[in-house]
Amino acid sequence: MKEKILAGKEKVFSKIKAFNAVRNENTEKYTKLNHWLLALFPIFITSMAEINHDKSIASYLKFIVERPTVMLFNFVIAYLIYFILLAIFKKGWIATAIQGFVYIMLSTVELFKFGTNGNHLILSDMKLFKSVKSLTSFAYIKITIPLILAWLAVIAVFCVIFWFNPKIKMKPFKRVLTMGACCMPCVSLITMPSFSAPVYSLFNVDTTKASNTFILNEKFESNSFLAFIVETATESFANRLTKPEAYTEEKVDEILSVDVDNNENFNGGIKPNVIVIMSEAFADFRVFDELDIDENVYAEFDKAASEGFGGTAISPTYASFTVRSEFELLFGLPVRSLNDPNMPQRDLAEREQPALAQYYKSWGYNTAYVHPFYENFYSRRKIYSQFGFDTMIFENDFTVPVENFGTYISDETVFNQLDALINESDEPIYIHTTTMQNHQPYDQGENPDAEFDNYCQWIQKTNETLAEFLDKLEQSDEPTLVLFVGDHFPSLKGGSGIYDQLGINGDNCSVLYEQKYLLWSNYDADFSKVPQDKKSLYYMPYVIMDVIDAPRDSFIQKMFDYMETTPIYSTNYDDTVPRDEELDILTYDRVIGDVVSPCPIPEDKLLNEDD
């Protein structure tokens, strides 16, 4: 038996050796053909990537006619990348495999991403690659004949190049020189504005500053897929967060030289439970008169707001990147001061963070964070454990019976868990929960294709379960204050979705950053000081502090002052508001800097891991 296995292996190896011998012969025998294969591949793979995401050869040809210089730019970048790979590996089939797979894969991801939520792919999205399992649960992934044909075409060309086996014959010094000569313009294009600006101008690449998602999408239409990827990478690098020049301990002390209104005593010593519910994709579409929305969809939300207070907060994001809104609610600081990263939690210093839960702990509260999804998505378990939460509950940590509504754990389950935490706590409790029930896909309603109708069914269900939760609290003798607000308007399909039907574009999309919120209590809370005008979302924690009459330090007092002078500080909503140097410095100090501003965390816990 052993001899037969060895004989079989030798036979296989012999065939492989013979196959490679023929390929090596092809390298010399078909020299001119191999030159053409190497010369034309960058044009082929660039074209296939564009055709694949466009789903149309006609659209691709139209773009070439209308924007020839941009397409030329795409080809130049493809050649530079291909030459780098050839200089490294020498073998054409390896360079082809790497560039071919990366291009067609990025193109496919772009196809699915835009088809899912109407947002285009940017390189920073690749930070979520480790969370592929989570992302696939969100996406509308549809394998079509054109998609299959595109992949087959790329595979077929790879097989041809693999068979004819083109190689470059170049001494090591020339290979290094070639690699350096090709790398330099690629790196300079991303990192050197003095180089990239004239290059983009030469090729007529659109460099419009995208202050909101819709302007970004319009830039995609102007640049196409590959030029868009490169240009937004340049923009992202230029917009990276750096230490403010004026950031010093003396400057922070100067900023916080304010008179502190320190007479608060929790309304005579009564510390109510504070429940912050950030509801996934909860948005009020009644702002669009064109939509005939059933009055029952938002009925319970309206009822609760009438019993307490209803207002409008400005969300820092639209359709995705919940962690932007989550950051603002957890820290009471604007993401604009961090240059609007899609994932601000990744910019935080590796240390105990002065999130607002730390204040509640210092005031004698228990603290909890509840999120009915994977703990490793956005690295929440690892990062949020430094925010001052005594208890963290993710999808596998629920202590109440778990039920799904649609794809995800239901809001009813989440509200039951909140009720359990309140009842189990001997002290007042501060809870932040980010729900998941209303996250897309919205293809599980009565009509899988009626995406918006299904979404409205989901929202109505949230209304009903919220009413049940508030009824339970009404029967409780524990004073409790609830803030309920959506993180952003929902991700809905691009190309033919409700936003396109409504004619939303970069000039009129500000309404999609306005989030209705409600404050509700089961005790006689005083809502008279709650601002009547629109405020950025990061001010809501201070609104709560005012309602519960919490103590203030100079940082909290300063944020109250900002609430009056700078009520809205959000690039996506209004980029005409100038940068606020003091607010930017204060934000940097608290989440990345040395935290010289006052906070309730002991100084030894504020040291960075690198210190």
List pLDDT tens digits, range 258-275. Answer: 999 876 678 888 899 999
Residues 57 and 113 in one domain: yes
Higher pLDDT, 225 or 494: 225
CATH number at residue 595: 3.40.720.10
In the chain, the number of structural domains is 2
**Residue 413, pLDDT above cutoff 80:** yes
- Residue 295 resides in a domain: yes
- The continuous run of DSSP H or E covering 94 comes out as helix 92-117
Range scoring the smallest mean pLDDT among 1-10, 486-495, 519-528, 569-578: 1-10
- The continuous run of DSSP H or E covering 110 comes out as helix 92-117
Domain limits for position 357: 270-601
Tell me the average pLDDT of the chain.
Answer: 90
Higher pLDDT, 125 or 206: 206
- Residue 244 resides in a domain: no
- Residue 260 resides in a domain: no
**Residue 445, pLDDT above cutoff 70:** no
CA angle in degrees (0–180, nearest 5) for 356-357-360? 100
- Residue 446 resides in a domain: yes
366-386: buried (b, 16+ CB within 10 Å) or exposed (e) per residue?
Answer: bbbbbbbbbbebbbbbebbeb
Q: Can you give the pLDDT at residue 111? A: 83
Residues 206 and 276 in one domain: no
The amino acid that residue 244 corresponds to is: P
Residues 440 and 586 in one domain: yes
Domain stop point among 187, 218, 238: 238
Q: Which residue has the tokens 């999609």?
A: 512
Residues 222 and 342 in one domain: no
Residues 218 and 285 in one domain: no
Residues 208 and 316 in one domain: no
Domain stop point among 238, 253, 288: 238
Q: Can you give the pLDDT at residue 264? A: 66
**Residue 468, pLDDT above cutoff 60:** yes
Q: Give the CA distances from residue 404 to residues 141, 335, 435, 443, 527, in Å, rounded to whole numbers and listed in that order.
A: 21, 32, 12, 15, 35
22 burial type by CB count under 10 A (0-12 exposed, 13-18 middle, 19+ buried): exposed
- Residue 265 resides in a domain: no
Q: Can you give the pLDDT at residue 269? A: 84
Tell me if 328 sits within 8 A of 334, measured CB to CB.
yes
Q: Hey, which of 48-52, 206-210, 452-456, 534-538 has the most confident mean pLDDT?
A: 534-538
Residues 289 and 350 in one domain: yes
Residues 169 and 295 in one domain: no
- Residue 215 resides in a domain: yes
For the whole model, what pTM was predicted?
0.90
Domain stop point among 238, 260, 283: 238
Residues 216 and 302 in one domain: no
- Residue 138 resides in a domain: yes
Residues 92 and 178 in one domain: yes
- Residue 198 resides in a domain: yes
Tell me if 374 sits within 8 A of 133, measured CB to CB.
yes
Q: Can you give the pLDDT at residue 130? A: 57
Q: How far apart are CA 407 and CA 7, in angstroms?
A: 53
pLDDT confidence bin for 140, thresholds 50/70/90: low
Residues 335 and 479 in one domain: yes
Residues 204 and 309 in one domain: no
